[in-house]
Structure 1
């Protein structure tokens, strides 16, 4: 299987297009806690790949304090 090319690159400035809430991947936060509100700006700090769905996954540092794993449909260029 060919890896799908990511839309965003490391270091690119992005913004959340929807509220990003804790899906359980942030154990120090309550379930469904708001991690980054829609419109919050961030920077791509790593680009990975979800093998089963052949989808890029982005680690985004929002406002210099919260790192959140995101899919492309949750982000837009800033």
Structure 2
């Protein structure tokens, strides 16, 4: 498994729109889960079942004006950043 870039509890940002690939029940496929720049927290890291060399992070992204965290979402490393989004 590749080395984890982010540890549980770290703040991250969506580097691009995070969309449902069909794995999140209750959301339309291709629905935007977290727009680019959304702040989230890493919950856990692991690897893709079909490709053990591919790191996957479970991230809970903010999903409301109060900053409440949504359900965990599986995200690839290249979809995340630790830099504040440019405004």
- Consecutive unaligned residues of structure 2, counting only runs of 5 or more, are 63-68
Q: Distance in 2 between matches of 1:23 and 1:55?
A: 17
- 1:39 corresponds, among 37, 40, 49, to 37
Show structure 1 runs of 4+ deviating over 6 A: none
SS at match of 2:12: strand
Tell whether the 8 Å contact from 1:17 to 1:38 is kept in structure 2 after alignment: yes
Give the RMSD, CA atoms, in angstroms: 1.3
- Consecutive unaligned residues of structure 1, counting only runs of 5 or more, are none
- 1:76 corresponds, among 68, 77, 81, to 81
TM-score, normalization by structure 1: 0.89
